[in-house]
Amino acid sequence: MMADAYGKLTGRPGICLVTRGPGTTNAAAGIHVAMQDSTPMVVLIGQVARNARGREALQELDYKQFLGGMVKYVEEIVDPKRIPEYVSRAFHAAAGGRPGPVALALPEDMLEELAEAADAAPYSRIEPHPSPQQMEGLAALLAKAERPMMLLGGSQWDAATVKQIEDFAAAFALPVCTGFRRQDRFDNRHPSFAGDLGIAANPKLAARVRDVDLLVAVGGRMGEATTAGYSLITVPHPQQQLVHVHPDPNELGRVYQPTLAINASPRTFAPLASVLKPAAAPRWAAGTVAAHQDYLAFIEPSKLPGALQLAPIVRWLDGNLPADAIWCNGAGNFAGWVHRHHQYTGYGTQLAPTSGSMGYGFPAAVAAKLVHPDRPVVCFCGDGDFLMTGQELATAVRYRLPIITLIVNNGMYGTIRMHQETYYPGRSFGTDLVNPDFAALARAYGAHGETVERTEDFAAVFTRAAATGKPAILDLKVDPEAITTRSTIADLRAATKARH
Q: Span 209-215, mean pLDDT? A: 97
pLDDT score recorded for residue 262: 98
pLDDT score recorded for residue 5: 98
Three-state DSSP state, 398: helix
Q: Span 428-432, mean pLDDT? A: 95
Q: Which CATH superfamily is domain 132-298 in?
A: TPP-binding domain (3.40.50.1220)
Q: Is the dihedral of CA 28, 29, 33, 34 positive or negative?
A: negative
What values do phi and psi take at 93, rounded to 5? -70, -40
Q: Span 64-90, mean pLDDT? A: 96
Domain definitions of the chain by residue range: 2-111, 132-298, 310-499
DSSP 81: G
Is it true that 132-298 and 310-499 share their CATH fold? yes
Q: For 217-274, what is each residue's pLDDT tens digit?
A: 999 999 999 999 999 999 999 999 999 999 999 999 999 999 999 999 999 999 999 9
CATH topology of domain 2-111: Rossmann fold (3.40.50)
Q: Span 279-307, mean pLDDT? A: 96
Cis peptide before 236 (omega within 30 of 0): yes
pLDDT score recorded for residue 51: 93
Cβ atoms 351, 328 nearer than 8 A: yes
* Nearest-angstrom CA–CA distance, 299 and 264: 33
* Nearest-angstrom CA–CA distance, 317 and 342: 8
What values do phi and psi take at 381, rounded to 5? -130, 150
Q: Is the pLDDT confidence value at 498 over 90? A: no
pLDDT score recorded for residue 497: 83
pLDDT tier for residue 115 given thresholds of 50, 70 and 90 = very high
pLDDT tier for residue 128 given thresholds of 50, 70 and 90 = very high
Q: Span 325-343, mean pLDDT? A: 97
pLDDT score recorded for residue 438: 98
pLDDT score recorded for residue 500: 78
Q: Span 367-374, mean pLDDT? A: 98
Q: What angle do CA 71, 12, 160 make, to 5 degrees?
A: 125
Cis peptide before 301 (omega within 30 of 0): no
Cβ atoms 433, 412 nearer than 8 A: yes
pLDDT score recorded for residue 475: 98
Q: Is the pLDDT confidence value at 175 over 90? A: yes
With pLDDT > 70 as the criterion, what percentage of the chain qualifies? 100
pLDDT score recorded for residue 226: 96
Which stretch of DSSP H or E encloses residue 134?
helix 132-144
Q: How many helices, marked H, and strands, marked E, lie in the chain?
A: 19, 16
Torsion of CA 331, 334, 339, 343, to 10 degrees: -130
Q: Which ranges of 401-470 does DSSP label H, i.e. alpha helix?
A: 414-423, 438-445, 458-468
Q: For 394-421, what is each residue's pLDDT tens digit?
A: 999 999 999 999 999 999 999 999 999 9
Q: Is the pLDDT confidence value at 496 over 90? A: no
- The residues that bridge with 450 in the sheet, in sequence order, are 474
CATH topology of domain 310-499: Rossmann fold (3.40.50)
